[in-house]
Amino acid sequence: MTFDPSSLSNFMLFLTAWGGAFIAALWLSLIVWTYRDIRARARDPLGRILAVLVVAVLFLPGIVIYIILRPHRTLDDEYQHTLEEEALLRSIEDTPVCPGCGRRTKEGWKICPNCQTKLKKTCHHCSKLMELPWNLCPHCGTPTPGMRRDDLTLDEALEPLAAIIPEEEPEEVELQSEE
C-alpha cells in the first residue's frame, strides 16, 4: 500500500467534516433537550429563553451551568408535591382532637380515654352520637331536651320530659293504668 498524501488530506477532511457534523448535531440536540427540560420545569418564558440561550452560546459548559442552576423539581413534581401537602393538611385538619388534652380522638368516641373529657353526646331518642353543641339530632330530628349540659347522661336528658308529662295529666295516667 503506497502512501498517498492527497488521500490522507481527504481522510482528514472527511474526519473533520464528520466531527463537525457530530458536534453540530450534539449542539442542536442539547438545545432541544434543554428546551424540553426547561419547559417541564419553568413556566416563565424569560427563564426558558435564558436557559436555551446559555446552552446555545456556551455549548458544553453551558449545559453544565444549566444543570446546576435549573429548578430542582419539574412542574409535574411540583404539582404532585402540592397535592400531597394538601392531602396531608386535610388529613391533619380532619382528625378530631380532644378539646381537653389535645390528643387525637376517633370519630365514634364519646369520652376521651386520656383525660375523660366528654367528646360526644348521644341522642335520647335514637342513641346515635351527636356533637356537643348540636341541639337537634341529625339522624332522627329529635331536639335535645332542656339545657345543654356537658355531663348529660341518657337518664338526665329524659328528666325534663318526665317532669313535664305528669303536670299536664295529673294522676289520671296512673289511675287508668291501675284499672
Binding string to Zn ion for residues 94 to 113, with x set by CB under 5 A, is what? Answer: ----x-xx----------x-
The answer to whether 161 contacts Zn ion (rule: CB under 5 A) is no
**Shortest Å distance, C-beta 104 to Zn ion:** 10
For Zn ion, the closer of residues 58 and 136 by Cβ is: 136
The answer to whether 139 contacts Zn ion (rule: CB under 5 A) is yes
For Zn ion, the closer of residues 81 and 128 by Cβ is: 128
The answer to whether 114 contacts Zn ion (rule: CB under 5 A) is yes
Sole residue written with cell 313535664: 164
Residue 86 to residue 80: CA distance in whole angstroms: 10
Backbone angles phi, psi at 11, to 5 degrees: -65, -45
The answer to whether 137 contacts Zn ion (rule: CB under 5 A) is yes
98, 120 Cβ separation under 8 angstroms: no
Residue 150 to residue 163: CA distance in whole angstroms: 20
Binding string to Zn ion for residues 117 to 136, with x set by CB under 5 A, is what? Answer: x-----x-xx----------
The answer to whether 74 contacts Zn ion (rule: CB under 5 A) is no
**Shortest Å distance, C-beta 135 to Zn ion:** 12
**Shortest Å distance, C-beta 110 to Zn ion:** 12
Rg, the chain, Cα only: 40
Which residues form the interface with Zn ion (CB under 5 A)? 98, 100-101, 112, 114-115, 117, 123, 125-126, 137, 139-140, 142
